[in-house]
Amino acid sequence: MRFKLVLRIVSVGLLLLSGSWIIRELLPAPKIDYSVQVKPILNKNCITCHGGVKQQGGFSLLFREEALGNTKSGKPAIIPGKPDESELVRRLISSDPEERMPYKHPSLSKSDINTLKQWIKEGAQWGEHWAYVPLKEEAVPQIQNEWIKNPIDQFIYQKLKDENLSPSAEAEKAVLLRRVSLDLTGMPPSELIANTFLNDSTSKGYEKLVDALLDSPGYGERWTSLWLDLARYADTKGYEADRNRIIWKYRDWLIHAFNDDKPYNEFLMEQLAGDLMPDPDDAKYIATAFHRNTMTNDEGGTDNEEFRVAAVLDRTNTTWSALMGTTFNCVQCHSHPYDPFKHEEYYKFMAFFNNTRDEDSDLELPLLRHYSPADSLKMNSLIDWLTKNSSLETAKKYYAFLKTWQPTINSMLCDNYINGALLGFDAGLRNEGSCRLKNVNLDQKEQVIFRYATNFNGGKWTINLDSLNGPLLKTVLFNKEKKDGGWKNGTIDLPPLSGKHALCFKYSNPALKGSDQTGIKFKWFAFGQKFPGQGKPGFELALRSFNELMDAQVDGIPVMVENNSEQFRKTHVFVRGNRSVEGKEVTPDVPHILNPMAENAPKNRLGLAMWLTDPNNPLVARTLVNRLWEQLFGYGLAETLEDLGSQGIAPTHKELLDHLAYQFIHENNWSIKKILKEMVMSATYRQDSKVNEKLVQKDPNNKLYARGPRVRLTAEQIRDQGLAVSNLLSSKMYGKSVMPYQPDGIWRSPYDGDVWKPSDGEDQFRRALYVFWKRSAPYPSMMTFDGGAREVCIIRRIRTNTPLQALTTLNDSTYLVMARSLASRMSEQGGTEINKKIAKGYELMMYKPISELRLKALIDLYDKSFVKFKDDVKGSAQMAGVKENPDPHAASMVMVASALLNMDEWLNKN
């Protein structure tokens, strides 16, 4: 009976598949695909001992040239075309447990062994992993039907058909409206946008909605929130005291960039190397704050070089994980265990980042200095004067110096202290104290500008060449010039010298009582030529302007500035990742497996950025479209956004991913808005998200897309939509980060005088991306809803579902304030009857009428609340948030509004 049944199924199958099946049987078997069939076997069973980390027996399977080379035994393990003569095969089937591989592990399955044999027979060709192969135009499956709206759907439909599934119908308008609005702008739509769509019955209605959302300012804010995770943006520096960092202008730069739809290639180039682009303006400098979001360690007595290197490593790792979906950090200690990256290539790549001026200083120098409008005018006149009276090149040099105080030598490089010490980042000298600044290039250096602070009259600073007893170059007398002993800049002339020398500094001041008092502190030194144009008309004014601008007390934002040739740092391999064991010296380059750098490209960050945004770079576009897809659908087409390599989870729809990435570069010209529009216009995206048990079992995480996305909202979206629906949300954009109410005692960093001071007025109710982000103590609800502390780059957030989330939306006073405000909105707009008011609340949130059962549950809550509140004046007042004469109806409505704000359908996009 059973046998018959099977037969019948087989015969039906034969009929259905008919032609193709027979043809496949008659044709020779297709060649073994290395990436799909062989690599997974090697990764799973062999590469631990024969890969990038270990090469037991002198045998590695990572690269073909290694695998075919001689092993320790003196002969190769693989002989292409001859599986039976290949040692590898013999070892797989050997009966001697000492010989049989994998050593001390179960032997490979027969079919795996056959695959390997066949592969060797066919020549043991190495294939490249899909993600490292350049993009090409993908053939779109030629399927047409009523459901399909664009090529995305053709790919999706093809796979659904293969899996015997069919797509779902389009979601109802209300659901779609909320879904696409939250996805594109992170917020519910404005009433105008919502009503226009809901009342538009034409076929163009949805597209108009999408266009309106892409055009709204909220779009830029929403996608900035995502990028802040990747940029590990925070408003503090990280370690110990975790003091404040002023870097919010970078966040604002992102908002502008997204709203202006800055092409993604330019977007990346400016963030990686804006400072090296021709004539960088403030915006290009600010963009480079991307990689200044690394942590800085202010803790007393830290080794600044150690943490400078830590930041450089972080920049290297983040560039790979966030922008290229590759686990490059594996290569820090050894060659990549699975993917074709060599140990040395890590340090070649790190070398691109190893020549920036930042040195883990407490002030986070270099900063881009923001001048007042008046000072900016002064700057313009100065630059004009310099251009006319010196040269354009000189003018540019002065402009850069005034904007960044670079190039300067940080005084933390001083050594040989006697009666003095490195104070944090400053060189401090006491009476008769001295120190040394080594290796100063004095070629054509006529003067030195130095930043210092002294609090005493009668100080004398002498500078001697090469040693304390060497020729005296200069004596400078200091008096206390400012009441507070604050920092200022000084300029002194130097006698003509050349070559590299040590400068020995000595400070004496008999007026200092006791040996413990520090008389002077230095922060940096800038060696250079004298201010040009002496004797020319306007010289005095120009010099005065220069000094005033240089001294101006202004805010700044940490940015990237490249070392000049005098300060160039060499980069070495760290043997096994250990900084204290330096291996060979390397120069900047990209891994050999990927597209080469353009021949004329400079070997610095700019060249790196050009390489990254080259259409031939196989990883950048794939990583981005995969991430955008994840934001809309809950999972990436390749789920492991952080690892598109051979250890990542293989993409469910590789051709679609490649199609989108190719289209993004070649048709959309790197426009994020265009590719997002393509995605949300697809029928795949617009599907209803209802499921049934069968489908849940077959495809629990909706990787086949037989239904629309149903995903819990992010921490930011949950806050923003609550503020929006309760009419509290401030529409203010940009500016310094805000501090909404949070319970006392969250900030407890040692030695940190900063406090959480609740912002005034509407700043209490700004969108979540403006909330001050303290790394060591982030805003609680952000963490509860799966945000990270942003100590390092967050590649993707993993969604959880916990009681602490419930407690937050039930009890956090921010949510209580939202509930009160929503309740008044319901009462004002819902008419006079209780059920109408409740129904109105639901409609305001979900854009559709409330179901009977839901309404009944909420009326029930209302009634129970009213029974309590009508006899409880105090409780009623507390719930409604009024001082006197509370209305028990109002208090009861707050209870209902709070319940509405906790609905699962509200916390999700449906």
Residues 647-686 that bind another protein (CB under 8 A): 647-648
Of 618 and 709, nearer to another protein (C-beta) is 709
| First-to-last C-alpha distance (Å) of the chain | 46
Residue 648 CB, shortest distance to another protein, in Å, is 7
Query: Using CB under 8 A, which residues numbered 682 to 711 contact another protein?
Result: 689-693, 696, 700, 710
Gap between the Cα atoms of 67 and 44, Å rounded: 17
Residue 771 CB, shortest distance to another protein, in Å, is 16
Query: Using CB under 8 A, which residues numbered 866 to 905 contact another protein?
Result: 868-869, 872, 874-879, 891, 895-896, 898-899, 902-905
Of 51 and 141, nearer to another protein (C-beta) is 51
- In the list 788, 827, 844, 909, the residue contacting another protein (rule: CB under 8 A) is 788
Query: Using CB under 8 A, which residues numbered 513 to 532 contact another protein?
Result: 515-516, 518
Gap between the Cα atoms of 306 and 303, Å rounded: 5
Query: Using CB under 8 A, which residues numbered 298 to 357 contact another protein?
Result: 299-303, 310, 321, 327, 329-330, 333-334, 337-338
Three-state secondary structure call for residue 596: coil
The secondary structure element, H or E, covering residue 501 is strand 500-508
As given in the structure block, the two tokens for residue 406 are 């670079």
Gap between the Cα atoms of 891 and 893, Å rounded: 5
- In the list 304, 560, 865, 893, the residue contacting another protein (rule: CB under 8 A) is 865
Q: Is 792 in the site for another protein (CB under 8 A)?
A: yes
As given in the structure block, the two tokens for residue 756 are 């959480």
Cα torsion angle, 371, 374, 379, 384, sign? positive
Of 299 and 466, nearer to another protein (C-beta) is 299
User: Could you tell me if 510 and 399 are in contact, meaning their C-beta atoms sit under 8 angstroms apart?
Assistant: no
Gap between the Cα atoms of 681 and 677, Å rounded: 6
Q: Is 760 in the site for another protein (CB under 8 A)?
A: no
Residue 86 CB, shortest distance to another protein, in Å, is 24
Tell me how many residues contact another protein (CB under 8 A). Answer: 117
Query: Using CB under 8 A, which residues numbered 415 to 434 contact another protein?
Result: 417, 419-421, 423, 428
Of 180 and 241, nearer to another protein (C-beta) is 241
- In the list 642, 658, 699, 716, the residue contacting another protein (rule: CB under 8 A) is 642
Query: DSSP string covering 759-814, please?
Result: PPGGGGG--GGGB---TTS--HHHHHTT----SS----PPP---HHHHHHHHH-HH
Of 118 and 749, nearer to another protein (C-beta) is 749
Amino acid at 626: N
Q: Is 864 in the site for another protein (CB under 8 A)?
A: yes
Query: Using CB under 8 A, which residues numbered 794 to 823 contact another protein?
Result: 795, 798-808, 810-813, 816
- In the list 83, 186, 558, 645, the residue contacting another protein (rule: CB under 8 A) is 645
User: Could you tell me if 429 and 380 are in contact, meaning their C-beta atoms sit under 8 angstroms apart?
Assistant: no
Gap between the Cα atoms of 217 and 784, Å rounded: 27
Residue 805 CB, shortest distance to another protein, in Å, is 7
Q: Is omega for the bond preceding 496 within 30 degrees of 0, making it cis?
A: no
Gap between the Cα atoms of 794 and 322, Å rounded: 8
The secondary structure element, H or E, covering residue 418 is strand 415-423
Of 261 and 359, nearer to another protein (C-beta) is 359
Of 188 and 420, nearer to another protein (C-beta) is 420
- In the list 156, 193, 858, 893, the residue contacting another protein (rule: CB under 8 A) is 858
Span from 78-86, 111-119, 404-412, 737-745 in contact with another protein (CB under 8 A): 737-745
Query: Using CB under 8 A, which residues numbered 583 to 602 contact another protein?
Result: none
Alpha-carbon distances of 419 from 471, 639, 833, rounded to whole Å:
21, 59, 82
Chain length of the chain: 910
Of 491 and 764, nearer to another protein (C-beta) is 764
Gap between the Cα atoms of 199 and 209, Å rounded: 11
- In the list 295, 351, 683, 713, the residue contacting another protein (rule: CB under 8 A) is 295
Of 305 and 667, nearer to another protein (C-beta) is 305
- In the list 750, 760, 833, 883, the residue contacting another protein (rule: CB under 8 A) is 750
Of 300 and 596, nearer to another protein (C-beta) is 300
Query: Using CB under 8 A, which residues numbered 26 to 85 contact another protein?
Result: 40, 43-44, 47-48, 51, 53
Please report the beta strands in 570-632, taking only residues with DSSP state E, as ranges in sequence order: 571-574, 582-586
Find, among 139, 198, 148, 146, the residue nearest to 681 by Cα.
148
Cβ contacts of 23 within 8 Å, gap of 6 or more: none
Gap between the Cα atoms of 748 and 730, Å rounded: 29
Q: Is 162 in the site for another protein (CB under 8 A)?
A: no
Gap between the Cα atoms of 245 and 241, Å rounded: 12
Query: Using CB under 8 A, which residues numbered 204 to 243 contact another protein?
Result: 238-240, 242
Find, among 163, 166, 138, the residue nearest to 152 by Cα.
138
Axis crossing angle, helix 304-324 with helix 217-230, rounded to the nearest 10: 130
Of 333 and 593, nearer to another protein (C-beta) is 333
Q: Is 776 in the site for another protein (CB under 8 A)?
A: yes
